C-alpha cells in the first residue's frame, strides 16, 4: 500500500514540476516578446527601419521561438553590425539614395 502511494506521489511531483516549467517558460517568452515589441517601437520612433520584418512579427517570432529569436533580434538591431550599417537602414538615407538615381544620357555615343 505504501509503495503505491509513493509511486503516485513521485508521478504527481514530477508532472507538476513539468507543468511549472512549461508555464514559467511561457511567461518568460511573453515578457521577452513584450520587450522586443517595445524596443522595436523605440527603434522606429528614432527614424530607423526594422530589418527583415516589422516589430510585431519580431515579437510574434519571439513568442514562438524564444531566446534564439531574441538573440537574432539583438544581433541584427543592437550589435556592432547595426552600427556599421546604420546609415544604410535610416529612412533619411533611403530618401537620399532615391534622389541620386542614375539617369540615362541625353545622347547615344557614336562609334
The answer as to whether 19 is a domain residue is yes
Cβ neighbours, 10 Å, residue 30: 13
| pLDDT of 23 over the 50 cut | yes
Task: Indicate whether 96 pLDDT > 90.
Answer: no
Q: How far, in Å, CA of 81 to CA of 6, rounded?
A: 56
Let me know if residue 107 belongs to a domain: no
How many domains would you assign to the chain?
1
Question: Which pTM value belongs to this model?
Answer: 0.60
Domain extent, residue 54, equals 2-94
User: What's the rounded mean pLDDT across residues 30-52?
Assistant: 92
The predicted-structure confidence for 49-76, as pLDDT tens digits, reads as follows 888 999 999 999 999 998 899 999 999 8
Q: Does residue 12 form part of some domain?
A: yes
Kindly state whether residue 24 falls inside one of the protein's structural domains.
yes
Instruction: Answer whether residue 87 shows pLDDT above 50.
Output: no
Residue 67 — left, alpha, or beta (φ > 0 → left; ψ -120 to 50 → alpha)? alpha
User: Is 51 inside a domain boundary?
Assistant: yes
Cα–Cα distance, 77 to 40 (Å, whole number) = 9
* DSSP summary character for residue 50: P
- Cα 92 off chain centre by: 23
Amino acid at each position: 500500500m505504501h509503495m503505491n502511494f509513493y509511486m503516485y506521489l513521485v508521478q504527481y511531483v514530477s508532472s507538476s514540476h513539468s507543468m511549472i516549467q512549461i508555464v514559467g517558460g511561457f511567461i518568460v517568452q511573453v515578457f521577452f516578446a513584450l520587450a522586443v515589441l517595445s524596443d522595436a517601437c523605440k527603434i522606429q520612433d528614432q527614424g530607423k527601419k526594422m530589418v527583415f520584418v516589422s516589430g510585431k512579427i519580431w515579437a510574434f517570432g519571439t513568442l514562438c521561438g524564444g531566446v534564439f529569436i531574441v538573440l537574432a533580434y539583438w544581433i541584427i538591431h543592437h550589435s556592432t553590425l547595426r552600427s556599421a550599417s546604420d546609415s544604410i537602414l535610416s529612412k533619411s538615407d533611403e530618401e537620399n539614395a532615391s534622389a541620386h538615381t542614375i539617369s540615362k544620357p541625353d545622347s547615344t555615343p557614336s562609334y
